[in-house]
C-alpha cells in the first residue's frame, strides 16, 4: 500500500498481519480523492479531517499528503492502533494528528466540525449508521462537511434524516457514497 499523490506520494504504509484489516484499495483512494477535487466539495488544502475506522490510516494520511492541516484518526483495534501510530510517526504527522481510541459509535464531542470525514467500516457489520448518528450528535458534521463512506457493493445503508446522498461510485466489491447535510 502506498500514498497516491501529494508530498508523500509513493511512500509505503505499514499494515497489520492477517486479514482483520481491509484497507481502502489504492485505486479507490485515487478515485475518491480525484472526486474530492470537484468544487462542490471543500478543498483539502488546510482541511480538518476525520478518518473513522482508521485501520492503517491510509485515508487520513492521503489527506495529509494532499495538504490537510489536521487529521483525527478513530480506531479501537489494538493491532490497528499500533500500525496506525507507526504510520503517523513514519510520516512525521504526530503534531498534525491525534488518535482517538474508541468505537466509532462512542465518539467524544468534537471541538468543531470537520470539512472531510472518511469512514471505512468493516463490511457487513452494520457499523456505519451508528457511527453517522454519533458524528451528527457530537458536532463533527458542519454545513460544508463531506462524508465519504466505503461500503461493500450491495450493502444497504439507511441514512439519518439529516444527511443526503450526493454521489456514489462502485468498483468491484467496493462502493463509496458521498454524503452532505440535507438541504432544509
Residue 184 pLDDT: 54
Q: Which CATH class is domain 26-181?
A: alpha beta
Question: Helix axis angle, 26-35 relative to 58-65, nearest 10°?
Answer: 50
Residue 22 pLDDT: 58
Residues of the chain with confidence (pLDDT) below 70: 10, 18-26, 184
Residue 23 pLDDT: 62
Name the strand (E) or helix (H) holding 85: helix 78-90
Question: Cell 467524544 maps to which residue?
Answer: 108
Query: Residue ranges per domain, the chain?
Result: 26-181
**Residue among 90, 96, 89 at smallest CA distance from 71:** 96
Contact 110, 139 (CB under 8 A): yes
**12: which DSSP letter?**
B
Whole-model pTM? 0.92
Name the strand (E) or helix (H) holding 182: none
Residue 24 pLDDT: 64
Give dist(CA 11, CA 56) in Å, integer.
13
**For residue range 97-149, what is the model confidence (pLDDT) as tens digits?**
999 999 999 999 999 999 999 999 988 888 999 999 999 999 999 999 999 99
Residue 21 pLDDT: 60
Amino acid at each position: 500500500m502506498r500514498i497516491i499523490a501529494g508530498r508523500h506520494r509513493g511512500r509505503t504504509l505499514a499494515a497489520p498481519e492477517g486479514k482483520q484489516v481491509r484497507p481502502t484499495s489504492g485505486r479507490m483512494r485515487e478515485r475518491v480523492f480525484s472526486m474530492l477535487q470537484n468544487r462542490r466539495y471543500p478543498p483539502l488544502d488546510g482541511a480538518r479531517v476525520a478518518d473513522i475506522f482508521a485501520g492503517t490510516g491510509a485515508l487520513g494520511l492521503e489527506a495529509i499528503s494532499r495538504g490537510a492541516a489536521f487529521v483525527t484518526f478513530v480506531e479501537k483495534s489494538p493491532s490497528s492502533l499500533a500500525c496506525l501510530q507507526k504510520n503517523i510517526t513514519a510520516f512525521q504527522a504526530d503534531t498534525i494528528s491525534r488518535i482517538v481510541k474508541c468505537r466509532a459509535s462512542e465518539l467524544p464531542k468534537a471541538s468543531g466540525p470537520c470539512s472531510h470525514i472518511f469512514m471505512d467500516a468493516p463490511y457487513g457489520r452494520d457499523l456505519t449508521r451508528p457511527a453517522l448518528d454519533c458524528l451528527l450528535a457530537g458536532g463533527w458534521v458542519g454545513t460544508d462537511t463531506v462524508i465519504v463512506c466505503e461500503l461493500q457493493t450491495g450493502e444497504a445503508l439507511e441514512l439519518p434524516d439529516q444527511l443526503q446522498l450526493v454521489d456514489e461510485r462502485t468498483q468491484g466489491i467496493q462502493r463509496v457514497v458521498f454524503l452532505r447535510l440535507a438541504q432544509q
